[in-house]
């Protein structure tokens, strides 16, 4: 349980620090204090999520000696962690039973 808490804490800190840095796109050339359009915000979120899953998660699972991580959410009883592991355009709530299985 302690390993899972460390893994979740590291993922949360990585997400918060990555989302806290403002993004500036060359195509829009917008200042940092304006919001990105929803499509570009979703693309940025998905990019951060894919980097986190590909680069950070395998190393954390290896360091904490976790071979498999299973996230299960049921309808009307969603796990809050599963929302951070889904793409931006995915529906925010579980349908029937939604499972994510991550293996090393």
**Residue 31 in domain:** no
**Residue 28 in domain:** no
Taking only Cα atoms into account, the Rg of the chain, rounded to an integer number of angstroms, comes to 16
Domain count, the chain: 1
CB contact burial 38-48 (16+ within 10 A = b; e otherwise): eeeeeebbeeb
pTM (2 d.p.) = 0.59
Predicted confidence (pLDDT) at residue 60 exceeds the cutoff of 90: yes
What mean pLDDT comes out for the span 37-60? 92
- The pLDDT assigned to 76 comes to 80
**Residue 83 in domain:** yes
Question: Locate tokens 């804490």: which residue?
Answer: 9
- The pLDDT assigned to 61 comes to 93
**Domain coverage including residue 74:** 2-23+36-103
């Amino acid at each position: 349980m302690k390993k899972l808490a460390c893994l979740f804490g590291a993922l949360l800190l990585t997400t918060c620090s990555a989302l806290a840095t403002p993004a500036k796109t060359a195509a829009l050339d917008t200042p940092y204090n304006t919001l990105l359009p929803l499509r570009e915000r979703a693309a940025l979120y998905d990019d951060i999520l894919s980097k986190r899953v590909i680069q950070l998660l395998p190393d954390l699972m290896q360091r904490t000696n976790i071979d498999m991580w299973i996230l299960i959410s049921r309808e009307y009883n969603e796990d809050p962690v599963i929302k951070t592991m889904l793409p931006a355009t995915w529906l925010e709530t579980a349908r029937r039973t939604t499972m994510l299985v991550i293996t090393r």
